[in-house]
Amino acid sequence: MSAQAIRTAVVGATVVATLGAAALTAPTAGATDGADGASRDTGHAATQAAMDAQVADGVPGVVGQARDKHGVWNGNAGVADLTTGKPRGKNDRFRAGSINKTFTATVLLQLQAEGKIDLDTSVDTYLPGLVRGNGHDGRKITVRQLLNHTSGIFSYTADSTFQQKYATKKFLAHRYDTLSPQQAVALAMRHLPDFPAGTDWNYSNTNYMLAGLIIEKVTGKPYAAEVQRRIVQPLKLRSTTFPGTNPNVPAPSGRAYGKFQGDPQGKVYDVTRLNPSWGWAAGEIISNSADLNRFYAALLRGKLLPRAELAEMKTTVSTGAGSPLRYGLGLAQLRLSCDKAVWGHDGGIHGSASFAFASEDANHAIAFNLNSDWVGDGVAVVEAEFCGPTDTTPDKGHDKAHPKGDDQARRTDVTSPISASVSAAG
């Protein structure tokens, strides 16, 4: 499959409703040495060109880190702050959205390895009565089906009330609101299931709200505390946090920029500060490129999970006919145009699109962030890193390939990964 075909079939993580708006212009920062700049390394020229192309298409700024047999390369393009013109720094923290899901799934798999849960047990066993209503029945859905998105549970982020609060300009009045996981699940229960459990695949953020609640029920501790204890602290991920209701992104960091559906002017807003509680175990995480590379390397090399559990995590299901992406337990496999398969996840949230993918042996990896939610083609950057020189021109039509096909649906998946936007038609 060609790179262009992949970009057509796989829509970027944070596609929003405002289409065809005038692109932002920002200066491009090349691969230069410096405390916060990119490192000199001609071996990643294609990746740098792909980052530059994102900025040319309107993304304010890109920052990322690649690791391979030659060492570490840090690249950036554009700016971290449209007001000051400050470039993006290699240590910048950013909201990484649904990359959170891999962390959440890892903890559940660790709990299974410890004999504390069984992924093939019903959700109702751990959360009795919570998944009920309008055809939803937690007695007929397994924990495994939550993790690989075959549960059929409606995604609360697709609820019209949620959409009005968080996808339109009303967000500006609600950006500091708190949404509990129980409230998120209740929103989902107002709707019919997408399909009977185990019969299809559809990305649902509700699945990972429930996963976080199961962690808390089994351990008796906050889910984020378990992630910190089991993953963040052992791996020394010093730039990775789970902010809860805290609206700030710790320094060093830049700004995050977004647009809203239904805004005829297509105005760009600074959406950096927000209460990420509505993302919780599905997408609240803050991290940086180096930490994400370290996490996925440890995961894929078996440092976080026993062999059996890692194999379960990497057992994938189809996300749609003809799609280059398959989904495991909080871990996606993306097949690139050069026929290489990479493992990881991506994530979007207001003003931010993040990607982290690695080879099977984790000897080659890239993690990066775009500080926009209305434009950008992260797959092109992944393609450039793993497949070499290709057409780095972002596909401006790629955001029209969302399977739900309308503006409301596009903003729905604000915390979802590439897999949320795979065209059902391939």
Count of alpha carbons within 13 angstroms of residue 210, beta-carbon side: 36
The whole-angstrom separation of Cα 215 and Cα 117 is 9
The whole-angstrom separation of Cα 55 and Cα 51 is 7
The whole-angstrom separation of Cα 224 and Cα 235 is 15
User: Which residue in the list 98, 155, 253, 419 is annotated as catalytic?
Assistant: 98
What string of DSSP letters covers 48-93?
HHHHHHHHHTT-SEEEEEEEETTEEEEEEEEBS-TTT-PBP-TT-B
Q: Which residues contact 3 (CB under 8 A, 6 or more apart)?
A: 336, 337, 379, 380, 383, 387, 390, 391
For the chain, the helix, strand and coil percentages under 3-state DSSP, each to the nearest 5? 35, 15, 50
Reference 14, options 283, 426, 413; nearest CA is 413
Q: What is the DSSP letter of 181?
A: H
Q: Is 289 a catalytic residue?
A: no
The whole-angstrom separation of Cα 126 and Cα 75 is 44
Just list the catalytic residues: 98
